[in-house]
Amino acid sequence: MKLWGGRFKTEESKLMEDFNSSLKFDKVMYFEDIQGSIAHVKMLYKSNILTKDESDTLIKGLNEILQEIEFGKLKIQGDYEDIHSFVEINLVKKVGDVGKKLHTARSRNDQVAVDMRMYTKRNALEIVDSIQHLQDVIKDKADKNNYIMPGYTHLQRAQIVTFKYHLMAYYNMFERDKKRMLNSLSLMNESPLGCCALAGTTYDIDREYTCDLLDFDKPIDNYLDGVSDRDYIIEIISNMSIAMMHLSRLSEEIILFSSKEFEFIKISDAYSTGSSIMPQKKNPDAAELIRGKTGRVYGSLMSILTTMKGLPLAYNKDMQEDKEVFFDSIKTTLSCLNVMSNMIDTVTVNKENMMKAVKHGFLNATEVADYLVNHGMAFRDSHKVVGEIVLYCEEKSIAIEDMSIDEFKKFSDLFDESIYEFIDYDNILKKGIKKEIAE
Ligand code: ARG
């Protein structure tokens, strides 16, 4: 089941064969491998390297293999070195000796490079779609829950925001993730097919033609670079790592905000699990798993960066190690995006508890200071005065707006009745640049 062997005297050991084989994981690229081969055959015919009959037979055979794989008639398994060997050997079995002409003017080095680029484009676009779906869900949940909540710094209550505004911060993060992915795709959209092993071929092939057929922008300039560039894989895993970091931060807040300590939101039963011992427990496992799997995607990024760092030009077998981490990262990121969308969609929001937290958190203290500034006091002085007010309220267990006007005046005679309206939570969000938060 090999594409080589002429120069060898003894058989490859079984141990080495298993160690070397990538079929178990590169079989996911069967579609791209067959499409790449069909484009290559069309080009060989156009360049007068194959006859019309030969090209028709090969294309028909390749399409049949594709159908048989998709309908489960042909299982991708056995002692093949990789998906490329699998397709080629099965083609020869099917169409006979003409199948042996498929690999004219091609190496597995440019073949695997073009397959991986096609696979990357298809999957990165699926990730973009999944991010877009998550954004739609976030926007919808945000619009329906435009309630005041505490905003935090240092995880201490800081100033008021709205649940909608808070959630929309994630919408913006995911917007960047989407753009990053599309940017990377436009950078890598060049075809390595025709670079051959490392130094091109003596055949007069037409790289522009395969490039067009496979929907790339242009053929890669340098052959050595074409067969050994894995930057785009590093870049896409890096993009996925950043998106996972955003998913993980969101997960962390879902875990926190759904705890009894906060109770701002409730995760639906459908995305929670129970405890085998504590009957009362409802655990946020979905969010915890997303947070956990983030580490796994980061690990893949470190793995591929390290694999590539010392490689001389051009192809080295080390590069086969790009696949498992890449495929796993794509699968992991897609499933996390999907679970997150469903979890957010089914979350319920507790307006009252968020308001309680706002009242207990002195979240209008900055505005009290602003009020004094508006009435002539320097901000640094008003900051001190309001600090003293907070201390007083804390000792009495009241909110600032619960103080009487006489109590206010004890701290500064600049206060009058208008303070109550000025520090009313709804009114705060109507002032100045904050208007954007209330929208
Ligand atoms: N399975 C190999 C990989 O993923 C395909 C390329 C093999 N090329 C070679 N010269 N042995 O990298």
Q: For a pLDDT cut of 70, what percent of the chain falls above it?
A: 100
Residue 82 Cβ < 6 Å to ligand 1: yes
Measured from the Cα of 84, ligand 1's closest atom is 5
Which residues fall within 8 angstroms of residue 351, CB to CB, at 6 or more apart? Answer: 145, 147
Of the pLDDT bands very low, low, confident and very high (cuts 50, 70, 90), residue 282 is confident
Of the pLDDT bands very low, low, confident and very high (cuts 50, 70, 90), residue 275 is confident
Measured from the Cα of 116, ligand 1's closest atom is 4
Q: Which of 19, 108, 198, 321 to mutate to test the pocket of ligand 1 (most atoms within 8 A of CB)?
A: 108
Catalytic-role residue among 259, 268, 275, 418: 275
Q: Is 275 an active-site residue?
A: yes
pLDDT of residue 333: 98
pTM of the model: 0.95
Q: Is residue 118 part of a domain?
A: yes
pLDDT of residue 433: 85
pLDDT of residue 43: 98
Mean pLDDT across 67-83: 97
Mean pLDDT across 359-377: 95
Measured from the Cα of 315, ligand 1's closest atom is 10
Domain boundary among 303, 321, 349: 349
Structural domain range at position 216: 109-349
89 lies in the same domain as 209: no
pLDDT of residue 387: 97
Neighbours of 417 (CB within 10 A): 9
Residue 223's beta-bridge partner residues? none
196 lies in the same domain as 317: yes
Q: Is 103 an active-site residue?
A: no
Residue 321 reports pLDDT greater than 90: yes
Q: How far apart are the first and last CA of the chain?
A: 65
Catalytic-role residue among 13, 154, 276, 397: 154
Nearest to 46 by CA among 237, 222, 211: 211
CATH number of the domain where residue 93 is located: 1.10.275.10
Supply the residue whose CA is at minimum distance from atom 12 of ligand 1. Answer: 320
72 lies in the same domain as 127: no
Q: For a pLDDT cut of 90, what percent of the chain falls above it?
A: 92
Nearest to 30 by CA among 77, 69, 64, 81: 69
Three-state SS annotation for the chain: CCCCCCCCCCCCCHHHHHHHCCHHHHHHHHHHHHHHHHHHHHHHHHCCCCCHHHHHHHHHHHHHHHHHHHCCCCCCCCCCCCHHHHHHHHHHHHHHHHHHHCCCCCCHHHHHHHHHHHHHHHHHHHHHHHHHHHHHHHHHHHHHCCCEEEEEECCEEEEEEEHHHHHHHHHHHHHHHHHHHHHHHHHHCEECCCCCCCCCCCCCCCHHHHHHHCCCCEECCCHHHHHHCCHHHHHHHHHHHHHHHHHHHHHHHHHHHCCCCCCCEECCHHHCECCCCCCCCCECHHHHHHHHHHHHHHHHHHHHHHHHCCCCCCCCHHHHHHHHHHHHHHHHHHHHHHHHHHHHHCCEECHHHHHHHHHHCCCCHHHHHHHHHHCCCCHHHHHHHHHHHHHHHHHHCCCHHHCCHHHHHHHCCCCCCHHHHHCCHHHHCCCHHHHHHHC
Q: Is residue 6 part of a domain?
A: no
- What is the tally of structural domains in the chain? 3
169 lies in the same domain as 205: yes
CATH number of the domain where residue 242 is located: 1.20.200.10
40 lies in the same domain as 145: no
Domain boundary among 52, 79, 104: 104
Domain boundary among 314, 349, 384: 349
* pLDDT tens digits, 174-209: 999 999 999 999 999 999 999 999 999 999 999 999
Measured from the Cα of 81, ligand 1's closest atom is 1
* pLDDT tens digits, 213-242: 999 999 999 999 999 999 999 999 999 999
Supply the residue whose CA is at minimum distance from atom 7 of ligand 1. Answer: 108
CA 112 / ligand 1 centre spacing (Å): 7
